[in-house]
Structure 1
Amino acid sequence: MTGKKSAPAKPKSTNSSSSRTPSSRNPKSNLRQNATKTSENPVSGEELRGQQAILDIFSNTFREVLEKEDFSLQLQKLKTALFNRDFEGAFAHEAALDVYAARWSPTRALCYGKVLRGLNSHLESLMSDVAARQGGDEYKTGHAPTRGNQDESTIENETRNAESEASVAQQKNNEGEKIQYLKVLAIGGAAAEIVAFADYISSANANANAKSIRGEITLLDIGPWGTIVERLQAALTTTPPISRYVSAAAKEVNKALVPASSLSSTFLQKDILFLSQGDLTKLISNPDHSPVLISLLFTLNELYTTGGIKRTTSFLRLLSAIVPPGTLLLVVDSPGSYSETTVGKEAKRYPMQWLLDHTLLPPPSRPRQKPGGDQGREEDRREQKPNNDSVKWESIESHDSIWFRVVEGLRYPIPLENMRYQMHLYRASVD
């Protein structure tokens, strides 16, 4: 079952600049800080303004939700459903998704954006010149999010205003601007992911030298996130509301986080574990077979626990069989015991990272024993050789535990919490 959103791991502490505190307090935490890394260097004024802009996008988009009198009650119901792992009940209605997005997605978007910016050197390797690609379709932007279980043609990206966007892009390219293209498949992706990727594109373009980066983001989740993704796409690419009484200078700098021509998004409500090889290939393929970024952000452990190890392992092997060389796989999830899967009658616990490495990495790089020295059953020790046509994955960055801390002074209508996560980045290569 793909991308079933769970509540973030219980936080260690709370950073809030809220002017309104809901009755549902932040739960106490039993997380330990030892053996962890902090992601926080001193935050520049530019980064602080960027983070506040992200929070403003969430607060403006979900203002009505946050200001409802029963918000705390709805939040508590959602927390209870998530605690009981009743994902279908928790996300059966879009109103519950609104509450989830308003409550937990802002911090995750800030965190994911910081992760992506930290991986900029790796992400740059994925970008290819639009001018070198076939046909010019890569100029199309502003995809309408896809809703529900529509026919298979919905997996292919649809666009609006394609001709005018292509004309603008071609004109800029003719004038010497180097246009680069980044394709992303966010598995289990929804509100936090689209905002984080927009934040990365905005930051990359601000620091780019004579080039323009454009991103096409496909978000896939089992929940009905289409309307929320559509609203956030609009909020990210249009000028935010501003008081008529602010200064002319403030109006001058009040711009969309990214121009509409720089961000294209498509949402698909599907279960990644039940997609055929053909359908998954359509999501990943490019006209020139260039590499892509595939993200599993707080999703992989849910796939293991709800979809099962066997089915999730099959999905990962399928990825290995179809992704272009150079593709990056980014996994972010809860650290430590929060990302363990219980298997078999003996209820043996497998850490998510061990399962992932066991599937992706070649035998010499893979641990021969399960953590704790327990070699496990014979089928757990059996080498699992990839198909001849599969890529070989290499681990290029890995962190067991990192803190993301919300900067003091950021404003949001409800408290925002720090979060801890593990992060692993893999690159697909061929022999």
Structure 2
Amino acid sequence: MSVDPQHLLHQLFATAIDAAHPRQVLEPYLPIDRSGRVIVIGAGKAAAAMAQVVESAWQGEVTGLVVTRYGHGAPCKKIEVVEAAHPVPDAAGLAVAKRVLELISNLGEDDRVIFLLSGGGSALLALPAKGITLADKQAINKALLKSGATIAEMNCVRKHLSAIKGGRLAKACWPATVYTYAISDVPGDQATVIASGPTVGDPSTSQQALAILKRYQIEVPASVRNWLQSPESETVKPGDPILTRSHFQLIARPQQSLEAVAVKVRKAGFSPLILGDLEGEARDVAKVHAGIARQIIQHGQPLSAPCVILSAGETTVTVRGNGRGGRNAEFLLSLTDSLKGLPGVYALAGDTDGIDGSEDNAGAIMTPDSYGRAEALGLSASDELDNNNGYGYFAALDDLIITEPTRTNVNDFRAIVILESPEKECPEHDA
């Protein structure tokens, strides 16, 4: 086959990002009546790019304020864009959250609010609940990120420690009409989990938040424990009357990107195998992918090569070592260790926001010679995996993927290209 597998992988990653970009997905969902005044607020890695779309499409008066991660801003003329820290909140995120609440206070029934929501919004729109400090939230956030907790578990804790999440933003907007447009970065695309659901009812409880902190042995100050034991810490629940004027619309999700990539795969002459939106430890998810790749090569199941295995979702990393690397580098390092240079197998893993964890790369790429080249440099895949050093491993091979911020986020994207299966041996017959 004449296709360059590495070039194909880069094309597939670009297709996944483009399929979820605000310029492609937001405008058709905006209200039909785009006249009159609208207040635009937003939070997330795609917030600035989403704000640009609203500015260009809205015919009436537009004002507003959105917060995005440092480096993910975009030039807007009418909507102010503020940058703050992610994944651990900082003072800038706290200040902008206070300003957002002020902006939507004292609205009337005739007012309209557009809320632009995307991955990262939880940390970026950080307003601690009564009696809880920013330092408390920062410490708990850091501990959760290292613990191996799922995004749903992390956001359960975050929303119960917040004055703005878990439906509280919709409550603050009442009785104005709120239109929330969301780009999902979470497995299952649950509105209550995306950026901790500021404008939707939340079925989780403060007791569940306490149980999560206990499960992962995260120590918290007495002020946090007292707050979570108080009825005041409960979020707005589904069916609450204050949510009747709050409308939620999902405009992009990982599955859309996977389907767009599958079209590209077929055009390149490969068969796609979509595994879907996955969770779990990055290194374990990689072992499953490795097993499927071997089954395809050895037995032509569940499909024959040439093919591409595709998956999305958000894995977790339990930090045990002192190395550098996000979820995608960890996944790819584990895949490399599992396959050990299996011929004909190439892979890419990257975060669609352009940032793998807190590093400067989106992800990395693996080729059949990655394992051998690393060993020649004195690098052991298993040892580097023990040290959570996926970034260092692929940096040494010059195989990191650097895209810079993409200004969208449907979470992780993984593609494994399998070029061909070895010729099957013909069984020998007895004479």
Structure with the greater alpha carbon radius of gyration: 2
- Structure 1 length normalisation: TM-score? 0.34
With CA pairs under 8 Å and 6+ residues apart, which has the higher RCO, 1 or 2?
1
- Structure 2 length normalisation: TM-score? 0.34
